[in-house]
Amino acid sequence: MSDIAGSTLYALREQGVPVLPYYDELLQHACRQCSPLFGQRVYADIYHEAAADPQWLAISLITNAEREGDGATRLWSLAACTPDADQAGQIRQHAIDESHHSRAYIQLLDMAFPGAVDEKLHAELLSLSPGYSRQQAPQATPGSAFAHAITLDDLIQMNIAEIRTRVHHLLQRPILLQFCPAYSRPQLARILDRLLYDETRHIAYTARLIEGFCGSGEAAEARKLLLERMDDFDAITRQELELRVFE
Ligand SMILES: [Fe+2]
Ligand SMILES: [Fe+2]
- Give mean pLDDT, residues 176-186: 96
Residue 233 counted as domain residue = yes
Burial class (CB in 10 A: 0-12, 13-18, 19+), 179: middle
| Mean predicted lDDT score pLDDT of the chain | 94
CA of 162 to the centre of ligand 1 (A): 8
Q: Which ligand is nearest to the CA of 162?
A: 2
Q: Would residue 247 count as lying in a domain?
A: no
Instruction: Answer positive or negative: Cα dihedral of 44, 48, 54, 55.
Output: negative
Instruction: State pLDDT tens for residues 46-65.
Output: 888 888 999 999 999 999 99
**CB hemisphere CA count around 148 (13 angstroms):** 10
Mean pLDDT of 183-196: 97
Residue 14 is assigned to a structural domain of this protein? yes
pLDDT at 246 over 70: no
Domain that holds residue 48: 4-242
**Cα angle, residue 96 at apex, residues 59 and 112 outer, rounded to 5°:** 30
Distance 202 CA to ligand 1 centre (A): 8
> Mean of the pLDDT values across residues 219-223?
97
pLDDT at position 236 is 85
**203 alpha carbon, closest ligand:** 2
pTM for this prediction: 0.95
Ligand approaching nearest to the C-alpha of 164: 2
**Residue 245 predicted with pLDDT over 90:** no
Q: What was the pLDDT predicted at 147?
A: 96
- Does residue 115 come out as left (phi exceeding 0), alpha (psi in the -120 to 50 range) or beta? left
Q: How many Å lie between the centroid of ligand 2 and the Cα of residue 162?
A: 5
pLDDT band at residue 211 under the 50/70/90 scheme: very high
Q: Report which of residues 168 and 209 the model is more confident about.
A: 209
Q: Give the CATH number, domain containing residue 203.
A: 1.20.910
Dihedral (CA of 130, 135, 141, 146) sign: positive
CA of 218 to the centre of ligand 2 (A): 24
Condensed to tens digits (0 to 9), the pLDDT of residues 71-124 reads 999 999 999 999 999 999 999 999 999 999 999 999 999 999 999 999 999 999
Ligand nearest to the CA of 65: 1
Domain count along the chain: 1
Q: 22 CA distance to ligand 2 centroid (A)?
A: 22
Local confidence band at 212 (pLDDT 50, 70, 90 cut-offs) = very high
| Structural contact between residues 214 and 222, judged by C-beta atoms closer than 8 angstroms | yes
In a domain, 204, yes or no: yes
Give the Cα separation of 106 and 110 in Å (integer). 6
The model's pLDDT over 3-41, given as tens digits with 9 standing for 90+, comes to 999 999 999 999 999 999 999 999 999 999 998 998 889
Q: Summarize the confidence of residues 135-148 as an average pLDDT.
A: 94
Q: Is residue 130 part of a domain?
A: yes
Ligand closest in space to the Cα of 68: 1
Q: How far does the centroid of ligand 1 lie from the alpha carbon of residue 217, in Å? A: 31
